[in-house]
């Protein structure tokens, strides 16, 4: 018997099986897990992608923000980006939630930082004394403790009413500053200021997590993912004080969205 045709036939069959198995395990099939998913992104600048390249429009949305990156990687049936830089909880309720479809399957959101005075607090700490910084942080902490929970509850309830069957992922905020060194470079914040702001950020995240869980939503904590990558650190995923454009200041850079926020949403979305 001539073994050559038999060997060639075996090779052909093996190659065909390999092709079939490779196709079955291709990324396209993995992405098909979300082929029937209608995804809506809500929230503030940390969701719109401020700090990353390619921002556009009044809401400063970027294709490098985590919602657009997740969409590109997972190819859901539809993607509606309602995020807007500067948004507070009442903006989400009045300007974002009403434009969601009731059939939405997946929602992501960051919200609460602007309600707590994120921008003015960081600016005050940048230009003021250590004591001034501590005072504005304390004011923010009072708001987070006394008023923010009700604002979050109202916002989460509005999302649930509008999209009763959606899987809602509430993402937190990173701790902004590295405190491993006393020095933060020329013009950088003192260690006292950085610690005060970080403490405020931790309280904000803990409050958001508690209210998200009370609403039956999934909380995606990004603090561990950003650990070691804060402002003043050797490999920051967060922009420091930025002059052009100033809105990028103290927001994630592209690495922060790609390696911090995107995996957090991916893990939480399932």
Q: Could you list the active site residues?
A: 45, 251
| Residue 177 near residue 192 (C-beta atoms within 8 A) | no
Residue 40 β-bridge partners: 80, 107
Half-sphere exposure of 174 toward its Cβ, with a 13 Å CA cutoff?
27
Q: What span, in angstroms and rounded, lies between the C-alpha atoms of 74 and 208?
A: 27
For 210, list phi and psi in degrees, rounded to 5. Answer: -65, -45
Query: Residues of 192-214 as b/e, b for ≥16 C-beta within 10 angstroms?
Result: bbbbbbbebbebbbebbbebbee
Tokens matching residue 62: 């970027």
Distance, C-alpha 65 to centroid of its chain: 8
């Amino acid at each position: 018997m001539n073994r050559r045709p038999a060997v060639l036939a075996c090779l052909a069959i093996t190659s065909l099986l390999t092709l079939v198995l490779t196709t079955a395990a291709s990324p396209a099939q993995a992405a098909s897990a979300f082929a029937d998913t209608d995804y809506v992104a809500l929230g503030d600048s940390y969701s719109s992608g401020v700090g990353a390249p390619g921002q556009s429009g009044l809401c400063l949305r970027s294709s490098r923000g985590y919602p657009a990156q997740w969409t590109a990687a997972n190819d859901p049936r539809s993607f509606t980006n309602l995020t807007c830089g500067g948004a507070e909880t009442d903006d989400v309720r009045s300007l974002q939630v009403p434009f969601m479809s009731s059939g939405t399957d997946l929602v992501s959101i960051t919200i609460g930082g602007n309600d707590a005075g994120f921008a003015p607090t960081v600016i005050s700490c940048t230009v003021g004394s250590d004591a001034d910084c501590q005072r504005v942080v304390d004011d923010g902490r009072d708001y987070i403790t006394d008023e923010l929970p009700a604002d979050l509850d109202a916002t989460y309830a509005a999302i649930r009413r509008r999209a009763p069957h959606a899987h809602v992922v509430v993402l937190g905020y990173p701790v902004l500053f590295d405190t491993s060194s006393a020095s933060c470079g020329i013009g950088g914040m003192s260690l006292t200021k950085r610690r005060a702001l970080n403490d405020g950020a931790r309280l904000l995240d803990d409050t958001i997590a508690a209210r998200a869980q009370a609403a039956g939503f999934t909380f995606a904590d990004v603090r561990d993912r950003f650990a070691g990558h804060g402002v003043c650190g050797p490999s920051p995923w967060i922009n420091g004080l930025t002059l052009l454009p100033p809105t990028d200041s103290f927001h994630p850079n592209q690495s922060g969205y790609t390696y911090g926020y995107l995996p957090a949403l991916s893990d939480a979305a399932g």
